[in-house]
Amino acid sequence: MAFYSTAFLGMAPFGSLLAGIVAAGIGAPETLAVGGLACMAGSLWFRRELPSNRREGPAELTCDP
C-alpha cells in the first residue's frame, strides 16, 4: 500500500509541475495533445507487448502440484 501511495499519489505533483513547465513553453492545447499522443503510444506499446507477457508469465503464478 505504501508503494501504491507513493507511486500514484506522490508522483502527481511532479507530473503537474512538468505539464506546467511544458505548457508555459508551448501552450496548454499543445501540451494536452502531446500528453494524449504519449498515452496512445504507451497503450499501443503495451498492446504489442501483452501477448509475450502472457506467454512468459511469472513462474510463481503457475498452479503445478
Number of domains the chain is built from: 1
Quote the domain boundaries for residue 43: 27-51
- Please tell me the predicted confidence (pLDDT) of residue 63: 58
pTM for the full model? 0.62
Domain assignment present for residue 1? The answer is: no
User: Which pLDDT value is given to residue 35?
Assistant: 92
Residue 14 covered by a domain: no
Let me know if residue 58 belongs to a domain.
no
Residues 39 and 19: their CA atoms lie apart, in Å, by: 14
In a domain, 35, yes or no: yes
Q: Is 16 within the bounds of a domain?
A: no
Taking CA atoms, 14 is separated from 19, 29, 45, in Å, by 9, 20, 24
pLDDT tops 60 at residue 13: yes
Taking alpha carbons only, the member of 20, 19, 12, 11 closest to residue 35 is 19
Mean of pLDDT over the chain: 83
pLDDT digits (tens, 9 = 90+) for 29-56: 999 999 999 999 999 999 888 876 666 6
